[in-house]
Amino acid sequence: MTRVTLVTGGMGGLGEAICIKMAKMGYSVATTYSPGNTKVAAWLADMKQKGYNFHAYACDVGDFDSAQACVDQITKEMGPVDVLVNNAGITRDMTFKKMDKTNWDAVIKTNLDSVFNMTKPVCDGMTDRGWGRVINISSVNGQKGAFGQTNYSAAKAGMHGFTKALALEVARKGVTVNTISPGYIGTQMVMAIPQEVLDSKIIPQIPMGRLGKPEEVAGLVGYLASDEAAFLTGANIAINGGQHMQ
């Protein structure tokens, strides 16, 4: 039977590349979009024209009930989720001095609570079936911290704590749990940074002298989702052009 992958935030820059990679590997692909997103039909049609038959479900990943309802619907319509890619995320950057509770909560909810909300309804099924993959998209800034990102760095670092703990709990059940920590990838999230900041502050920090490509991250997701990666769990894999080495 065809395995089912669920990619949260699959219509975003990284998410779309991940959806395409998983489809090329022969998985059925479901993605989530934020309730109220008006571009879904056009995106699905565009993908269909390119040869990808994706399924999209409205879900606020920061809301537990919404996540549960979304997974229930996917299970009913496509079958149980075998690979979960927790990719949806937001930034609300400001120095800690200016950081208010609203922007702290928004980032923690969308980037970290979401990992619990989405993994909870799929994990028992994976262990019962004896096969599963949970892949959490974190960030280099969760590893090294970043000016103006106390909220984002905390959420992304927390994601990896979750990865290590859950990896231990499900290791004997055929389920792997891993974190990918990308550096700066040329998606809308990064292109929203003013060009002069990119040129003067960010790219000079990257030994490869360029932003990463979404397809490069998607390739790593594809490997982690494969049978070949069965012995790899609890890892945090950096993919950042040499910007930060641990």
Q: Which residue has the tokens 């998606």?
A: 187
| DSSP category for residue 30 | E
Per CB under 6 A, does 9 bind ligand NDP? yes
Per CB under 6 A, does 32 bind ligand NDP? yes
List the interface residues with ligand NDP, window 79-98 (CB under 6 A). 87-90
Per CB under 6 A, does 184 bind ligand NDP? yes
Buried b (16+ CB within 10 A) or exposed e, 121-147: bbbebbeeeebbbbbbbbbbbbbbebe
Site string for ligand NDP, 41-80 (x = CB under 6 A): ------------------xxxx------------------
Indicate the residue whose CB is closest to ligand NDP. Answer: 12
CA 178/CA 182 separation, integer angstroms: 13
CA 150/CA 38 separation, integer angstroms: 31
> Which one from 27, 33, 152, 184 is the annotated catalytic residue?
152
Burial class of 34 by CB neighbour count within 10 A (0 to 12, 13 to 18, 19+)? middle
Position among 4, 6, 7, 14 found at the interface with ligand NDP (CB under 6 A) = 14
Per CB under 6 A, does 139 bind ligand NDP? yes
Per CB under 6 A, does 188 bind ligand NDP? yes
CA 197/CA 148 separation, integer angstroms: 14
Per CB under 6 A, does 121 bind ligand NDP? no
| DSSP category for residue 112 | I
For this structure, is 152 an active site residue?
yes
Per CB under 6 A, does 190 bind ligand NDP? yes
Per CB under 6 A, does 150 bind ligand NDP? no
Q: Which is nearer to ligand NDP, 38 or 49 (CB)?
A: 38
Position among 13, 80, 148, 219 found at the interface with ligand NDP (CB under 6 A) = 13
Burial class of 95 by CB neighbour count within 10 A (0 to 12, 13 to 18, 19+)? exposed
CA 166/CA 115 separation, integer angstroms: 11
Per CB under 6 A, does 33 bind ligand NDP? yes
Length of the chain in terms of residues written: 246
Position among 6, 11, 71, 126 found at the interface with ligand NDP (CB under 6 A) = 11
- Binding footprint of ligand NDP on the chain (CB under 6 A): 8-9, 11-15, 32-34, 37, 59-62, 87-90, 110, 137, 139, 182, 184-185, 187-190
**Any idea which residues carry the catalytic annotation?**
152
